[in-house]
Amino acid sequence: MSYQDSSGAGGIAVPTIPCLFTSPPPIKDNLPTESSVLQDATVKECLPFLTNSSNFHAHVNTHGVPHLDRSRHVAFLHKQLGKLPPQFKAADPSRPWFFYWCLAALAVLGEDVEDYRSRLVGTVRPMQNQGGGFAGGFGQMSHLATTYATVLALVLVGGEDAYETVDRRAMWRWLSSLKQPDGGFQMAVGGEEDVRGAYCAAVIISLLNLPLDLAPDSPARASGHTRLFDGLAEWVRRCQTYEGGISAKPGVEAHGAYAFCALGCLSILDSPTRSFAKYLDVPKLMSWLSSRQDAPAAGFSGRTNKLVDGCYSHWVGGCWPLIEASLNAARGGSSPPPPEKQQPTPTAGRPSAATSTAALFSRDGLIRYILCCCQDQSKRGGLRDKPSKISDAYHTCYVLSGLSSAQHKWDLVTTRADGGILDTDEWAASPFSEGKQIFDEEDRVKPVHPVYVIPKDKAEAARQYFMMKTGF
């Protein structure tokens, strides 16, 4: 293995790592706070992994980036889909999430998950309530989050048996009961209303091709709504905060996961080339999203003055492909952004982590954080929040999804007609190739649909199946 023009003791070649990732931030506030103390500790925790100064990784490439330990992560995910120890009893209401997290992560790693079809169908069928939707566990009430996870899991394994597990008529009536007079969706009957509901409902409705007309007894009809998506985009707009980020509901703190939910929902309601600018202050949102990534870790945090966390590789990192594609398509192609949108020239001695002036976020920085800091290199495998945390199915799924977003470029090849709700935009993925690639090609994962967060072919197969149905 040959390294770039840098040698260590005894002439042993060592990788060249930009100083952006090897030293603390150059500007430091001298007023210590609880947040700043935690931030300093996190930087101290991550630096040895970013520089490999303690030999955490047996092998790194010429850029100081370790390989993706694919086989160990695959083994971890299969184990998570097996019998879990008694300590997991508290997570019983989240069983569908484990199905989705593990199956989605396996698919991103290139594994065939169709062998899980019969087991999944047999497990989730009794979790579907007669009134519609899926519960988190047996005998529990239906919840929009676990219904979303179950539907995506069934779409991942694919096939008629999986698709037909869903009672679409009951699902439609149940979603109608969650639709609120203000345009949003509750997560469960009588439960909280937040932007997760907007996204989860939009995904379910679009994948299953449910009728858009509301059931006659929907509470939303009291305010004049007649369709499932009436007023939804307007409700999402009210969730944008003074910072530019998106909150769970109007009037609370902006959060990275809710930003993705908002953009995903708006991408289903209309082409993002129109819906983003129509309902959101996009420059302000981009500014807030950009502030979630900082050096030296270069992963993403979820909120202002919070710590880097691997899961935001998707929740924040997954926002950028949607925004980039919408901006490029709105300009009529994939040309670089205008000068005012390009990144500033880096400070002398602190080279930019971006591979191209056309990048809206540091892909290289995110990839470096994921492969250096988020991989559990023990026999356990899986991916994690940060080096001090233990790996789990949740982080494994969303860290890998974020890695996929950073390694690929998504384009809107064609956009739907104006106002074409549930019409499909044509999304196309290609390896991101601008600049010098810092990871080895063997460590590239599969692309995932930027809206549905599953492989594009899986989403398209489900949509085509349900589009062929007339009525229920």
Query: Among 61, 50, 27, which residue's Cα sits nearest to residue 298?
Result: 50
- Annotated active-site residue in 199, 312, 452, 465: 312
Q: What share of the chain is helix, strand, coil (3-state, %, to 5)?
A: 45, 10, 45
Answer yes or no: 239 catalytic. Answer: no
Alpha helices in 209-352 (DSSP H): 232-237, 256-269, 272-279, 282-290, 312-315, 319-330
Is residue 185 classed as helix, strand or coil in its secondary structure? strand
- Annotated active-site residue in 274, 292, 395, 449: 395
Answer yes or no: 92 catalytic. Answer: no
Query: Among 105, 62, 110, 65, which residue's Cα sits nearest to residue 81?
Result: 105
Tell me how far apart the alpha carbons of residues 266 and 289 are, in angstroms, rounded to a whole number: 17
Answer yes or no: 306 catalytic. Answer: yes
Q: Which residues contact 67 (CB under 8 A, 6 or more apart)?
A: 59, 61, 371, 440, 442, 443
- Annotated active-site residue in 117, 221, 278, 303: 303
Tell me how far apart the alpha carbons of residues 41 and 371 are, in angstroms, rounded to a whole number: 20
- Annotated active-site residue in 194, 230, 270, 309: 309
Query: Among 231, 331, 237, which residue's Cα sits nearest to residue 284?
Result: 237
> What letter does residue 252 receive in the DSSP assignment?
S
Answer yes or no: 385 catalytic. Answer: yes
- Annotated active-site residue in 255, 314, 368, 449: 255
Residue 57 zone, left/alpha/beta (φ > 0; ψ -120 to 50; rest): beta
State the DSSP string of 212-235. -BPPTT-GGGGGT--BTTTTHHHH
Answer yes or no: 281 catalytic. Answer: no
Tell me how far apart the alpha carbons of residues 78 and 9 are, in angstroms, rounded to a whole number: 42
- Annotated active-site residue in 392, 397, 398, 465: 392
Is residue 317 classed as helix, strand or coil in its secondary structure? coil
Our CA dihedral for 387, 286, 179, 459, rounded to 10 degrees, sits at: -70
- Annotated active-site residue in 102, 311, 372, 373: 311
Answer yes or no: 314 catalytic. Answer: no
Phi, psi dihedral angles at 162 (to 5 degrees) = -70, -45
H-helix or E-strand spanning residue 101: helix 95-108
- Annotated active-site residue in 79, 227, 238, 306: 306
Q: Which residues contact 409 (CB under 8 A, 6 or more apart)?
A: 321, 324, 334, 429, 430, 431, 432, 433
Answer yes or no: 395 catalytic. Answer: yes
Tell me how far apart the alpha carbons of residues 248 and 290 are, in angstroms, rounded to a whole number: 19
Active site (catalytic) residues: 255, 303, 306, 309, 311-312, 385, 392, 395
